[in-house]
Amino acid sequence: MAVASREVHLIERPEGLPVATQFEIVETTIDDPAEGEFLIRNQYMSVDPAMRPRLSNGQQPLHKPLGAGTIGVVTASRHSAFAEGDVVQHGLGFREYVVSDGRGVSRLDAAGFPPTLYMHVLGPTGFTAWGGMLITGELKDGENVFVSAAAGAVGSVAAQIARIKGCYVIGSAGSSEKCEWLENELSIDVAINYKEGVLRKNLKAAATQGIDVYFENVGGEHLDAALPRMNVGGRIPVCGMISAYNNFGARSTGVTTLSNMVYQRITMRGFVVTDFEEKREKFLDDMRGWVADGQMKYRETVFEGIEQAADALIGLFTGENIGKALVKLD
Ligand SMILES: NC(=O)c1ccc[n+]([C@@H]2O[C@H](COP(=O)([O-])OP(=O)(O)OC[C@H]3O[C@@H](n4cnc5c(N)ncnc54)[C@H](OP(=O)(O)O)[C@@H]3O)[C@@H](O)[C@H]2O)c1
């Protein structure tokens, strides 16, 4: 029997910070799966900064569900490889139900962990932090580390990996609540509220031994402040530049200190999570171990209902989330 479903569409391309009226909840009817297909009822949708540039640069089509990672359960199947009750993970976007032929859908074996962990600490954002820190950043035990957007999904994992490796860890975040969580719950050494005082000065005061690895999530003023603090041979794995994503062409602003790359022989290298695919088993081994023994903590900011999806996405740019931003569907 066909089911009623709702989807989140982009109806107008944003300039600057998106507003809720640029999105629309569209009601639709999903037909029964045909032979070789199955029906998924989505349970959680992942909200990610990378969705933002696509809204303006045309990669996200208008009047189609927003592309995003999702976890759901199979509720009817005429497909040989997927059975009713299977928990699945896919990128078919912001919608309550979807029919699939299996392309781009994988069955999720959560191995005893809550399935939502595979949307963050055991999933894409955790893998990003692990690969960026240990492979691109070539982190060594006991180094001095700075992580920006440290109370977010990627940043909180990156900061804790450095702490697990015995590093001195400085993190930046945009509120005192986030800084308290970083210092008191995640046990990082110093959390800087970049919205108070002068970041450049506060980072200089915190980084008494300089910085060997700057895990870059923000760009702009953060990169400008970090470069003069880098030690000789320092590495900057460039994960993202969220401060730029609402600008035209996602252009970053305000970096005036690049000459330090020469003086300090700094390596700055961008990466995307798919670069590390061949190391996925090693990542899962490490991260499942750290989560199971309590060394790796996590937090979810859950927005309830598909009606909250646009606000959840906008909230990434106003700092609404601590840890991973998710939308839970009814
Ligand atoms: N390379 C890859 O494969 C890959 C994969 C996933 C994510 N990423 C990147 O990793 C970064 C973090 O992503 P995430 O999913 O973990 O998101 P997140 O950190 O959970 O959420 C975004 C956070 O960024 C901070 N922020 C927003 N605008 C800011 C600004 N102008 N200046 C400073 N901080 C700002 C906000 O926290 P505050 O309250 O602290 O401001 C917000 O909570 C992003 O740059 C993203 O593009 C890269």
**DSSP one-letter string for 213-231:** EEEBSS-THHHHHHGGGEE
Q: Ligand 1 mean position to 81 CA, how many Å?
A: 36
In whole angstroms, give the CA distance from residue 137 to residue 132: 6
The residue whose C-alpha atom lies closest to atom 6 belonging to ligand 1 is: 125
| Residue with token string 């949307």 | 119
Block means of pLDDT (10 residues each) for the chain, 330 residues, are 94 98 98 97 98 96 96 97 97 96 95 96 98 98 98 98 98 98 98 98 98 98 98 98 96 93 98 98 98 98 97 98 96
In this prediction, residue 296 carries a pLDDT of 98
| Ligand 1 pocket, residue 250 CB under 6 Å | no
Q: Kindly report, residue by residue over 193-241, the tens digit of the pLDDT.
A: 999 999 999 999 999 999 999 999 999 999 999 999 999 999 999 999 9
Q: Kindly report, residue by residue over 27-41, the tens digit of the pLDDT.
A: 999 999 999 999 999
Q: Ligand 1 mean position to 77 CA, how many Å?
A: 37
Domains 3-120+299-328 and 125-276+284-290 share a fold: no
From the list 138, 147, 241, the residue with the least C-alpha distance to 194 is: 147
In whole angstroms, give the CA distance from residue 322 to residue 142: 27
Q: Kindly report, residue by residue over 265-287, the tens digit of the pLDDT.
A: 999 999 999 999 999 999 999 99
What is the CATH T-level fold of the domain 125-276+284-290, as seen in this structure?
A: Rossmann fold (3.40.50)
CATH number of the 3-120+299-328 domain: 3.90.180.10
Q: Ligand 1 mean position to 37 CA, how many Å?
A: 36
The domains of the chain are located at: 3-120+299-328, 125-276+284-290
Q: Ligand 1 mean position to 148 CA, how many Å?
A: 8
| Ligand 1 pocket, residue 125 CB under 6 Å | yes
The pTM of the full predicted model, rounded to 2 decimals, is: 0.97
Burial class (CB in 10 A: 0-12, 13-18, 19+), 277: exposed
In whole angstroms, give the CA distance from residue 154 to residue 282: 18
CB 297 within 8 A of CB 186: yes
